[in-house]
Amino acid sequence: VQPQESGGGSVQSGGSLRLSCTSTHHIGCMGWFRQVPGKEREGVAALDSDDRTTYSDSVKGRFTISRDTTKTILYLQMNNLKPEDTAMYYCGTGPYYGGPCPLRTGHFGGWGQGTQVTVSS
């Protein structure tokens, strides 16, 4: 089942959004990635089955990744948004081999259609 992302939109700098990703129950890594046209997809945040989290330096302290108790809905709470956060946001799943889930695109798959986030200054 392809993940379904939602919650994107247009906000002003400093605003907040919460993204959701509905998927099937997954044991392993789940993560949020983002991509702007002409650039590679980059990792934003990930968590493993024990809810240990990994964040990119660019969002640390502003974004929070979490999921519901059924582990079928993945969230990304985004606070203090900046224009450079503007991108299409995707969720994906990947295997867990121990240690923090890596924020490498190649580790994840099963991408959804994405949800657009636009932050204006």
pLDDT of residue 27: 79
pLDDT tens digits, 87-107:
999 999 999 888 889 999 999
Q: Look at strands 115-120 and 9-12 and give their pairing.
A: parallel
What average pLDDT is seen over the chain? 94
pLDDT of residue 97: 85
CA 91 to chain centre: 5
pLDDT at 69 over 90: no
